[in-house]
Structure 1
Amino acid sequence: MEEAPPNFGAELKDAFKPVNAWVTNGISWMTDVEEFYRERSVIEKEYAAKLSQLAKRFFEKKAKKTASLSVGDTPLMTPGSLESASMTTWNSLLTTTEITSQEHDKLATEMVAKCAETLRVLNSRYESFRIQHEKFEKHLTTDRDAQYSELRKTKASYDATCKELEGKRVKVEKAFDHGRPKAQKSYEAQMAEMHNIKNTYLITLNVTNAIKEKYYHGDIPDVLSSLQDLNETRVQAMNTVWKLSCDMESASRIRCSDHMKNLAAEVERNLPHLDSLMFIAHNQPQDGWREPPDFYFEPSPIWHDTDDIVVDDAAKVWLQNKISKSQTGLVSYRTEVEKRRKDVDSMRAKREKVRGSSENAEGRTTAEEMEILRNLLNGQEELAAVDMKRVALEVEVDTVRQACGDIDKNAHSHKFKSASFKIPTSCDLCHEKIWGLSAKGMTCKDCGFNCHANCEMKVPANCPGPLDKSAKKALKDVRQSKAGSISISSDKLSELSTPASNGSSSHGMNRSNTVTSVSTTSTANLDRSATVKSTATTSTAASSTTKAAPTRRVLAPPPTKYIAELPAAEVKPDGPKGKMLYGYTATGDGEISVGEGKEVVIVEPDDGGWTKIRNGLAEGVVPTSYIEQLSASSPSKAASSPISATPDSRRESIIGKKKGPVVAPKRGAKRLVHVQAVYDYKARTDDEFDMAEGDKFVLIAEDDGSGWAEVEKNGVKKMVPANYVEKA
Structure 2
Amino acid sequence: MSWGTELWDQYENLSLHTQKGIEFLERYGHFIRDRCTIEVEYAAKLRRLVKSYQPKKKEEEDYQYSPCRAFKLELNEVNDQAGQRELIAENLQANVLRELNILVKDFKEDRKKHLQEGARLMASLAGQIGNLERARKAYEKAFREAERALDNYQRADADLNLSRAEVEKQRMNMTVKTQQCEEAKTEYANQLQKTNDMQTLHYHTAMPDVFQHLQELDEKRVKNMRNYMMKSVAIERAVAPIIEQCLDGIEKAANEINEKEDTLLVIERYKSGFQPPGDFPFEDLSAAKSYDSNSQLSQPVMQPIHNHLTVKGTVSGGKIKKRVGLFGIFSSNKLIEVCIALKNNVPGYGDGAKEDCSDLPPNQRKKRLQQRIDEIQAKIQQETAARDGLMKMKGVYEQNPALGDPMSIEGQLNESSHKLDKLGAELTKFQGYFDEAMRAGLNLSSPSQISRKPTSNGSATRPLSSRRSSHSGGEESLSRSASDSSVSNVNTSQPVHKKSAPGTPQPIHGSTNSPESGLGASRTSLPGSGGEEYYLDELEAQPPLGTCRALYPFDATSEGSIPMYDGEELYMIELDQGDGWTRVRRISQPIEGFVPTSYIECNLYNT
| Larger helix fraction of residues | 2
Between structure 1 and structure 2, the one with the greater Rg is 2
TM-score past 0.5 threshold: no
TM-score, normalisation: structure 1: 0.26
Q: Which has the higher contact order (CA 8 A, sep 6+)?
A: 2
